[in-house]
Chain A
Amino acid sequence: MFMTLAASDKVSCWEIDSSTGELEFLSDAEIDGRPAPLALDPEKSILYVGRRDIPRVSSYRFNPADGSLKHLSDGPVLQGDPCFISLDKTHKYLLAAYYLAGAVSVHEVGEGSFSGKSDWIPTGTGAHCVYTDASNSLAMLPHIAGENGLNTIRLFRFSAETGELTQTESFECSQPDNRGPRHYSIHPNGKFVFFSNEQDCSVTSYGIDIESASLREIQTESTLPMHYGGVNTCAQISLTPDGNFLYAPNRGHNSVAAFSVNGETGKMKQVGRFPTEAVPRVLDIDKTGKFLYSAGLESGHVSAFQIEPDGSLELISRYEVGKEPMWLLIHALD
């Protein structure tokens, strides 16, 4: 598991014990400029790192044995700091979202270089996440509501041949006031997508119509207890690989909200909320769906949980990892 430690200017690598879920530190690499979002090309063993203070994306070849990194290339200096990066399904293009600069970008990367096409598309303040669906033809771009964000989801067609993003006919999926969609997770059956809503502290499920590239809202559920009135915002969101459970962290309540998911209807049912690290900005689930890892921006720790058959989380252990963990990315070794 790779993780970025923004305040320490490091990317570290930890090994997951596949039977117990416990972590063991392997290596770290110094990368200046507040490293934050990560994306990975498993076939070429390339890790892409978004650096928010410089701001640019850099590529590194990683050694699968110990996660050590060797610098490959630096992308162009950007007009804003990337808060989310991803690779399209061909691993030829890198997509990035910029919530302060209000844009999405596409960079041709190939073997980790940034020598090809590079598009910068202004979309509006608050753009927070972007990646393509399993068909590699649809990309969604949620915009949060805070910090003058647009509070909307915008939809794009993606061309794997040219790397172009073009607006769909039903480009805009407008949102109720102050909902603030931030991140999304697409169900493995491709029929549904689940968004975390940063300002509303909730998750919303939508049906995906691939032909018209539109979303149909199904259900919204709070991630907080009914009576909670403290400060809180949602951050990431993640489904288990089988799509049966959904998890979204609460920054403030400092918990992970868990839901079971009906893969036929896209409806969610609350499983519970499970205490985790202070300001749990990021989480990731291992590829077997047995373990969930939640990192605390404020605590500098990662909590490892076992995912029980009913979707509840059982704490395995906590690990001190360093200052301001900003991203977790699990790479499954065959």
Chain B
Amino acid sequence: MATIEITFTLNGTEHYIEADTRWTLLYLLREEFGLTGTKRGCDMGECGTCTVLLDGLPVNACQVLVASISACRVTTIESLSSDGNLHPLQVAFLENDGGQCGFCTPGFIMSAIPLMEMDTPITRDQISEALGGNLCRCNAYGAILDSVNAALDGRFHA
């Protein structure tokens, strides 16, 4: 088994780890750190339910090798709430029934985070495009779009 030593930042905390070179970021998060908010779906980069932020940009954690995240910032769904305050996107999903079974919800929320960083008005088409890599088998797309739209309108201040 080949291993690699890397240092990276996970949800604001720096970690030094010795990792198997075959590990994916998804495996690392769920099995080594116990952060199971990031879901394992297709494991092929098609469903988006394992979406996390890598240096602020959404990626499918199942398609990222741990060996490639040295010095990177990884952000998972667990970091969004603080001191019992939910992130505005989480509040909006609750208020708009944005999740049915809820399995895909973390991935959709993480894909929507970069939209919250934009400084221009955002259309519903742009939201659809940003969430294009995420699948919902419950087919709750309408409510998901409503949720993100509501959060972007600033109606849900955490």
Contact = CB atoms under 8 A, between A and B. Distances in A.
Q: Do A and B bind?
A: yes
Interface of A: 225-231, 254, 270, 273, 275, 277-278, 296, 298-299, 301, 318, 320
Interface string B38-82: 000000000000000000100000000000000001000000001
A229 B157 contact: yes
What are the nearest 5 A-B pairs in CB distance?
A229-B88, A229-B157, A227-B152, A225-B117, A278-B12
Contact of A230 (B87, B118, B119, B120): B87
A318 B88 contact: no
B116 A228 contact: yes
Contacts of A227: 115-118, 122, 151-152, 154
B154 A229 contact: yes
B12 A226 contact: no
Contacts of A273: 117
Given A270-B119, A278-B12, A301-B14, A229 B56 contact: no
SS class, residues of chain B in contact with chain A? loop
Interface string B2-15: 00000001001110
B119 A225 contact: yes
A275 B56 contact: yes
A299 B13 CA distance: 7
Q: Which of A226, A254, A320 has the most CB of B within 10 A?
A: A226
Contact of A229 (B9, B82, B121, B151): B151
13 contacts: A225-B118, A227-B122, A227-B151, A229-B154, A229-B156, A229-B157, A229-B158, A231-B158, A254-B12, A277-B12, A301-B14, A318-B9, A320-B14
Contacts of A296: 12
Given A254-B12, A275-B56, A299-B13, A231 B85 contact: yes
B88 A230 contact: yes
